[in-house]
Amino acid sequence: MQAEQNWLPRCDPLSLYSRIVGTGGYLPENIVTNSDLEKTVNTSDTWIRERTGIEQRHIAADGENTVDLAENAARKAMQAAGVLAADIDLIIVATTTADQVFPSTACLLQSRLDIHGCPAFDVQAVCTGFVYALAVADKFIKTDTSKCALVIGAETFSRIIDWSDRNTCVLFGDGAGAVVVKADSSPGILSTHLHADGDYANLLHVPSGVSSNYAAVQQGRAFVEMSGSDVFKMAVKTLGRIVDETLQANGLEYSDIDWLVPHQANTRILAATAKKLKMPMSKVINTVAKHGNTSAASIPLALDLAIRSNQIKAGDTLLLEGFGGGFTWGSALVNY
């Protein structure tokens, strides 16, 4: 039974809310440590740990694609939620590293899961992608368009990394996280808040694609480029603002948040956001050391790990927040 909190809004019997009822995560078996990277690029384990907090990252094997990671995470989430394929009526995959130009990774996953007929589509907001996808699913359910949604963040980010660039190759990894979101008569997802500002696109981007600079793609040179210090400053500033926006929208104080479940970019950004919340790091779900930055997969992976390890318990109030290329940023306030 979900624990009751007296500040939660009272429910109209006809009201529809959405609630996370199951989570799942998947990481490729192949692990690349900082020591491994020392052998191939001018870096060191100490340098990486001090600047990012990352110790290792999981890297998809040859032939292991985004849909494979998504399928593993989705099946675990469905099992945890106690739902069958026939129960799912919406599939949203947040990814920057789709298997194909089309069809969407969501459609490929739909076939894998033997689900037919329901809407299935991808969302691309890079590291904020899972929050964007969760917000869309929440709206589908609150408008009575969906009853049971499967929301996944999945990435094979290693495929768009220049492994000779020490500024980016040390940061990223691969993985997938998933949640099942169902209609409920009591509030689960309390609010979502999404933003973007394309004026800052060049600070973190892959400057090649199908319609622009396709020659680089053909030559296998479509890699992430990042201005690290500028991205850090923007992340801290925007995440601080969205913390305030989320709390104000719900009439809450910092002390009402039980757990911060942030995008796992690096420990310095996590610490800065926790400071803004006046929250000790012991209340911040932190997986960056073992996972690295898995982009759209990082928040659901962290959420799944925290729930399965009994850190997060029924009735806890969670603040999910992310920041990514675009720039995009967003949050979701969740009563678990």
DSSP annotation of 301 = H
Torsion angles phi and psi, residue 158, rounded to 5: -60, -20
For the whole model, what pTM was predicted? 0.94
Rounded to an integer, what distance in angstroms lies between the CA atom of residue 118 and that of residue 110? 9
User: Pairing relation of β-strands 259-262 and 317-324?
Assistant: parallel
Domain with CATH 3.40.47.10 in the chain: 17-186, 191-335
Contacts (Cβ under 8 Å, ≥6 apart) of 218: none
Give the CA count within 13 Å in the CB-facing half-sphere of 185.
3
Strand partners, 92: 121, 151
Q: Which residues are catalytic?
A: 127, 263, 293
Instruction: For the chain, 336 residues long, give each residue's pLDDT as a single digit of tens.
Output: 344 444 444 444 446 899 999 999 999 999 999 999 999 999 999 999 999 999 999 999 999 999 999 999 999 999 999 999 999 999 999 999 999 999 999 999 999 999 999 999 999 999 999 999 999 999 999 999 999 999 999 999 999 999 999 999 999 999 999 999 999 999 999 999 999 999 999 999 999 999 998 998 888 889 999 998 999 999 998 998 999 999 999 999 999 999 999 999 999 999 988 998 889 999 999 999 999 999 999 999 999 999 999 999 999 999 999 999 999 999 999 999
Q: What pLDDT, on the 0 to 100 scale, is given for residue 217?
A: 87
Write the CA distances from 91 to 37, 68, 87, 128, 142, integer angstroms: 36, 15, 11, 17, 16
Domain 17-186 has CATH 3.40.47.10: yes
The predicted structure's pLDDT at residue 9? 47
Measure CA of the first residue to CA of the last residue in the chain; give whole Å: 11
CA–chain centroid gap for 75, Å, is: 17
Q: Give the integer Cα–Cα distance in Å for 58 and 55.
A: 11
Homologous superfamily of 191-335: Thiolase/Chalcone synthase (3.40.47.10)
CA angle 54, 158, 174 (to 5 degrees): 65
Q: 291 CB contacts (<8 Å, ≥6 apart)? A: 27, 57, 58, 173, 175, 264, 298, 301, 302
Which residues have a Cβ under 8 Å from the Cβ of 212 and sit 6 or more positions away? Answer: none
